[in-house]
Amino acid sequence: MSPKLKLTSELEENNKINFLDFTITKSHKSVETAIYRKPTATDCIIPHDSCHPTQHEISEIRCLLNRMLDYLIPNNKKKEKVNQTILHNNHYHNNIINTIQQKTKKQCQKMNYDVHSHKEKKKWVTFTFVGKEVYHITKLFRKQILGVALKIKINLSKILNRNTDK
């Protein structure tokens, strides 16, 4: 039997309410958002020194940056220092963070202009990431204008399925 989902309601306090991972504050003129982290939240993401494809590591950084860029007002963006802490605790260096941050900002600006541009559908191939050598192989496929997706050999569902005790 599957566990039952419990829904709870939360009441607004001092014109603030936490919803998902945001704090929504309403004033008489506007609504503002800030990133909310539960007191039990950990700063665990894919560590930079793990054996994961670089694209997976970059997506971790982009996820944190995009959430900040898309949903926070300028004043709250300046206050958001937790992203830097999370990345540093997972061994990401400032030069990597800054490079991805600049690229992300440029892509966001470019997307505003290219929303209506028509792109041809791309064919995709998937490779299992076993180490840095895979990049040499996938480079050949990218030259053929194919999309390349990388996956890791072991994932959570495989680990959980090993356990026969449900």
- For 63-103, write each residue's pLDDT tens digit: 887 777 777 766 666 666 777 788 888 888 888 888 887 88
The tokens describing 105, both together, are 């900002």
Indicate the helix (H) or strand (E) that contains 52.
none
Put residue 108 in one of left, alpha, beta given phi > 0 → left and psi -120 to 50 → alpha: alpha
Domain boundaries, the chain: 42-111, 122-155
The tokens describing 91, both together, are 């061994």
Do 146 and 125 meet the contact criterion of CB atoms below 8 Å apart?
Answer: yes
Do 57 and 99 meet the contact criterion of CB atoms below 8 Å apart?
Answer: no
Task: Please identify which residue in the block is written with the tokens 């998902």.
Answer: 20
Residue 126 is predicted with a pLDDT of 86
Residue 115 is predicted with a pLDDT of 43
Nearest CA among 38, 43, 57 for reference residue 88? 43
Buried b (16+ CB within 10 A) or exposed e, 43-78: eebbebeeebbeeebbbbbbebbeebeeebeeebee
- Given a cut of 50, the residues of the chain with pLDDT beneath it are 114-118
Residue 156 is predicted with a pLDDT of 67
Question: 3-state DSSP: the chain helix, strand, coil percent, rounded to 5?
Answer: 40, 15, 40
Do 129 and 104 meet the contact criterion of CB atoms below 8 Å apart?
Answer: no
Q: What is the number of other CB atoms lying within 10 angstroms of the CB of residue 120?
A: 5
